[in-house]
Amino acid sequence: QQQVKQSPQSLIVQKGGISIINCAYENTAFDYFPWYQQFPGKGPALLIAIRPDVSEKKEGRFTISFNKSAKQFSLHIMDSQPGDSATYFCAARTPNSGYALNFGKGTSLLVTP
Amino acid sequence: DGGITQSPKYLFRKEGQNVTLSCEQNLNHDAMYWYRQDPGQGLRLIYYSQIVNDFQKGDIAEGYSVSREKKESFPLTVTSAQKNPTAFYLCASTPRGSLQPQHFGDGTRLSIL
């Protein structure tokens, strides 16, 4: 059972545009929400993360928006670049299961020149 | 450099054979995790360990086994009971109980001969 639902499955954005990926969850025990970026043949790398008591976090071109009441959070990539083309995963962590992460199914982002 | 090393990068399994995937970390992290990644499925938790000599099943543990004899090592055995082992396997670690992100290795791709 997928505890974190991610959309869209794939996304094509022109260079300089804004990429937006959305995630939703049900489990209110989740206490940490990271986003990972993965390139083919590599492991996921942490991009940015947020706690549920914060509504927004910005690091460079990457911003997480968090809506606790709606149980939704999203990643915005400003001024998208071809080098941002990768698969992005949202995740949520619960103190159960040894603080393991529950992942969305991923979004394949292609930024065209 | 500190990090997580997974080996081998590619592995082939014959019918009825057990194979072991290696995961070593020099980050002095207490907790380690194994995830399985299938195309379009995100990452799913196989096993996790929060301390040496202790480990717990994740969501899809059937057909897999692990050991945690040393803090820095968490090998995963894919047994012959795992009928669909073809996947990308990822190992991760984190300081136990903290809000520090999970760090991932670069994975092992397992295929059936």
What is the C-alpha to C-alpha distance for residues A53 and B42, in angstroms, rounded to an integer? 26
Dihedral of CA atoms A2, A4, A7, A11 in degrees, nearest 10, equals -100
Instruction: Report the percentage of chain B scoring pLDDT > 70.
Output: 96
The reported pLDDT for the residue numbered A13 is 98
The reported pLDDT for the residue numbered A1 is 65
What is the C-alpha to C-alpha distance for residues A90 and A72, in angstroms, rounded to an integer? 11
pLDDT beyond 90 at B68: yes
Residues in A closer than 8 angstroms to B3, CB to CB, are: none
Residues in A closer than 8 angstroms to B31, CB to CB, are: 98-99
> Cα angle vertex A64, ends A60, A69, to 5°?
160
pLDDT in tens, A35-91: 999 999 999 999 999 999 999 999 999 999 999 999 999 999 999 999 999 999 999
List phi, psi (to 5°) of A2. -75, 115
pLDDT beyond 70 at B65: yes
B73 touches chain A (CB under 8 A): no
What six digits make up the tokens of A75?
């990643």
Q: Is B48 helix (H, G, I), strand (E, B) or coil?
A: strand
pLDDT in tens, B13-61: 888 899 999 999 999 999 999 999 998 888 999 999 999 999 999 999 9
B11 touches chain A (CB under 8 A): no
B74 touches chain A (CB under 8 A): no
Shortest CA distance from A49: residue in chain B: B101
How many helices (H) and strands (E) in chain A? 0, 11
